[in-house]
Amino acid sequence: MSLRTPILPTLAAALALAGVHPAAAQRCRIPAGEFLTVEAGPIEIEPGQVRALRVGTSRGPFMAPNPLPRGCAVRWSLDARAPARIDAQGRLQIGAHAAPGTEFRVHAAMGSVASAQAVHVVDPRLSPVAGTWRQAQPAACTPAAAGAMEPVRELELRRDGRFTVTFIPFETYHDYWGRYTYDARTGALTLRVEGSNKLSAGVDLAGTARVANGRLTLDGFWLGQPNPSPSRACRYPFSH
């Protein structure tokens, strides 16, 4: 009598004991050339705030993750002593008394694959202009443009003082980026370019910024265009 046990039934039994159906395990594999990813970049979150985190697969950092198939089990955890908690569905809750400036990591694991993402606790009062904005209407410029201008489809002002400007978003592409300073008392906003893929000559990146009713208005700026275009002084309306 043979004492050997068929391999496939044994594997199926092991997966069943682990609570993973063999078909689900096959479906939840990470595609070749991709990684398990939490969000598209560092997470900025306020004390007391709750956020459902996105987890999925992507081909590199700073790319929005593609959702996982239904039924894929993700195990969530946080760094020790993080002033927060996270549930089995990936809902991250920051303690109401967490100090702005605190940093820790959130961890996601699926099978033997794991990923981590940085979390920054921020104070919303320090930078009301912070966020990812999309040009809501054509800019009002002097002198007026002869034809339609390409809108800024993504203006990101992070609470860590960094910014990106992108006319046509594609994966990790940005037209230019750098650091910004904002004076909440006067509304003065200045963008300082540190790198670019495409930067118009004559850009004017200093003016005023105002946030009201969920809209950001930049006044006195010329953010440029993807193609050569004369410099102007413009008022740009943005929304989330």
- Report cis status (omega within 30 of 0) of the bond before 9: no
For residues 76 and 111, membership in a common domain is answered with yes
178 vs 147, which has greater pLDDT?
178
Q: Which domain holds residue 78?
A: 7-123
User: What integer pLDDT is reported at residue 119 of this predicted model?
Assistant: 94
Tell me, what's the pLDDT at 25? Answer: 58
Q: Where among 90, 123, 156 does a domain terminate?
A: 123
140 shares a domain with 71: no
pTM over 0.75: no
Kindly state whether residues 58 and 134 are assigned to the same domain: no
CA-CA distance, 167 to 93, in Å (whole number)? Answer: 33
Please check whether residue 1 lies inside any domain of the structure. Answer: no
- CATH assignment of the domain containing 174: 2.40.128
> Is residue 38 located within the same domain as residue 85?
yes
61 and 164 both lie in a single domain: no
Share of the chain above pLDDT 70, in %: 88
Closest CA to 44 of 134, 158, 127, 177: 158
Q: Do residue 176 and residue 203 come from a single domain? A: yes
**Which has more confidence, 145 or 110?**
110
Is residue 62 assigned to a domain?
A: yes
Residue 11 lies in a domain: yes
> Quick one: pLDDT at residue 19?
45
* Domain end residue (candidates: 98, 123, 148): 123
Please provide the distance, in angstroms rounded to a whole number, between the alpha carbons at the two ends of the chain. 71
pLDDT band at 147 (very low <50, low <70, confident <90, very high): confident
Mean pLDDT of the chain: 86
Q: How confident is the model at residue 122 (pLDDT cuts 50, 70, 90)?
A: confident
- Indicate whether 2 belongs to any domain: no
Looking at residue 160, its pLDDT comes to 77
Q: Quick one: pLDDT at residue 5?
A: 38
pLDDT of residue 23: 52
> For 222, which DSSP code?
B
Q: Does residue 72 form part of some domain?
A: yes
* Integer angstrom CA distances of residue 183 from 45, 125, 178, 188: 21, 12, 17, 5
Question: 106, 43 in Cβ contact below 8 A?
Answer: yes
Which of the two residues, 10 and 132, has the higher pLDDT score? Answer: 132
219 and 118 in a single domain? The answer is no
Q: Give yes or no: residues 61 and 135 share one domain.
A: no
Q: Are residues 34 and 99 in the same domain?
A: yes
Whether 11 and 117 map to the same domain: the answer is yes
- Compute the average pLDDT of residues 46-72: 88
User: What is the domain count for the chain?
Assistant: 2
114 and 169 belong to one structural domain: no
pLDDT digits (tens, 9 = 90+) for 20-46: 455 555 678 898 889 999 998 889 888
pLDDT band for 6, please (50, 70, 90 cuts).
Answer: very low
- pLDDT by residue (tens digit) across 149-184? 999 999 999 887 889 999 998 877 899 999 999 998
Compute CA distances 236 → 20, 125, 135, 152, 220, whole Å.
52, 23, 7, 9, 9
| Domain boundary residue, one of 106, 123, 140 | 123
Task: Indicate whether 59 pLDDT > 80.
Answer: yes
In angstroms, rounded to a whole number, what is the distance separating the alpha carbons of residues 65 and 167? 21
CATH assignment at residue 90? 2.60.40.1080
Q: 35 and 57 share a domain? A: yes
Instruction: With a cut of 70, say whether residue 10 has pLDDT above it.
Output: no
